[in-house]
Amino acid sequence: MINKYVMRKRDLTEGKSWFEIVAKSNNYLWLFIGVLVCVIWGIVKPEDLGYPDGGYWVLLSLGVSMLLVLGYKGLYQKYNDLKKGKIR
């Protein structure tokens, strides 16, 4: 017998698209875009960040790791939590 009082998961996205939710209510999107621009700039013009030095590789690896963390925790996980009815 199925219990009547089992709570069903609510979809907190309310039929909105991923971009509508993430772009309007998430500050991490703008941080992600800023870091992405800096990483692309460092790849296209490495001499501006001091390419021959080891600091360039540290900055580039820090930027890429920030992109990974912000992309997963700030963008992907937020949308999935809302879709599954969770709020963090």
Per-residue pLDDT reduced to its tens digit, 14-70: 777 767 766 666 778 888 888 899 889 888 888 887 777 887 888 889 999 999 998
Average pLDDT estimate for 66-82: 82
Domain residue ranges in the chain = 25-84
pLDDT at 12: 59
The answer to whether the CB of 49 falls within 8 A of the CB of 42 is: yes
pLDDT at 13: 62
CA–CA gap between residue 45 and residue 58 (Å, rounded): 16
Q: Can you list the alpha helix ranges (DSSP code H) found in the chain?
A: 18-25, 28-44, 54-69, 77-84
Average pLDDT estimate for 64-77: 86
Half-sphere exposure of 23 (CA within 13 A, CB side): 5
pLDDT at 64: 92
Cβ neighbour number for residue 14 with a 10 Å cutoff? 9
pTM of the complete model: 0.64
pLDDT at 2: 54
